[in-house]
Amino acid sequence: METVMLVNAVEPKPIDMSRGRVFRAYLAEMRSECLRYLRAPSFMLPMLLFSSVFYLMFGVLINHGDGDAARYLLASYCTFGVIGPGLFGFGVSLAIERAGGLLTLKRALPMPPGAYLLGKMVMAMVTATLVTVLLLCIGVFAAHVTLNWIQMATLLLTGMFGVLPFCALGMLVGTLIRGQGAPGLLNLIYLPMAFMSGLWIPLSMLPAFLQRIAPVWPSYHLDRIALAAVGLNHEALLPHVLVLAGFAVGFLLLAARRLRRYG
């Protein structure tokens, strides 16, 4: 046993951090995450433009005044648009921060537990909300889709919270791949999944096989909720909400396990 001289020793005083300060640390993390991505055009522009340009093309320019088609496409491009910030905001940044050492630094620093994930989650929710607002504007002012306030608010909430299961999926991919390989893999998930869930072409126009397996994709369930928000789907929504919650929890647990084991 080593004897330690008194003058050289430190007291095991517990460092008290008031609840208020811990709460402010969470807020600071969220604020930083949002600021850093809002200032990054290489992230924001594709996120905002991808779905809105598609919608402008197919919902407004090519679509000759078919109101139902414009309404349908508003819901499915909203779904398509909010998946992006979840998958890419979480997946790419996690993969790059694991490779670049930022995640290691944050784990060594006394960042409150969960602040890292919460910050990214809030950032993805903010971006998803911006995407939904942009599409709503195009839908209402350019495609002349008539929506009441409740429908608009419901679609907005669908986008805001619908991004969460895809955050969890992005996080899982971010733990599987390090660095710049993540965007490629994410696109391989994003685009085929969007297509097979009927986000680009209505499911009813797809082959019967794809129609049958559509409920496998989380994006299908989010699309059903978005369609209900704009008044095109009258089935019960609870099963879809539960399936999405299940996906979110499942992906999150897998990702958390990988992060704990392999960092």
Site residues (vs other proteins, CB under 8 A) = 2, 4-12, 14-18, 21, 24-25, 28-29, 32, 35-37, 39-40, 96-97, 100-102, 104-105, 107-113, 263
Q: Shortest approach of other proteins to residue 19 CB, angstroms?
A: 12
Sign of CA dihedral 223, 136, 90, 80: positive
Give 18 or 204: the residue with its C-beta nearer to other proteins. Answer: 18
Q: Could you tell me which of 201, 56, 53, 52 has the C-alpha nearest to residue 133? A: 52
Helical axes 182-196 vs 91-100, angle rounded to 10°: 170
Q: Shortest approach of other proteins to residue 243 CB, angstroms?
A: 34
Give 4 or 236: the residue with its C-beta nearer to other proteins. Answer: 4
Give 17 or 249: the residue with its C-beta nearer to other proteins. Answer: 17
Collapse the DSSP code of 130 into the 3-class scheme (helix H, G, I; strand E, B; otherwise coil) and give the result.
helix
* Residue 138 to residue 248: CA distance in whole angstroms: 30
Q: Shortest approach of other proteins to residue 126 CB, angstroms?
A: 15
Could you give the C-alpha distances from 60 to 56, 76, 214, in angstroms and in order?
A: 5, 14, 26
Q: Count CA atoms closer than 13 A to 57's CA, side-chain side.
A: 8
Give 1 or 236: the residue with its C-beta nearer to other proteins. Answer: 1
Give 112 or 250: the residue with its C-beta nearer to other proteins. Answer: 112
Could you give the C-alpha distances from 201 to 50, 210, 211, in angstroms and in order?
A: 16, 12, 12
Query: What tokens does 58 get?
Result: 């197919």
Give 24 or 257: the residue with its C-beta nearer to other proteins. Answer: 24
Is residue 16 exposed (0-12), middle (13-18) or buried (19+ Cβ within 10 Å)?
A: exposed
Q: Shortest approach of other proteins to residue 93 CB, angstroms?
A: 9
Q: Shortest approach of other proteins to residue 108 CB, angstroms?
A: 4
Q: Shortest approach of other proteins to residue 106 CB, angstroms?
A: 9
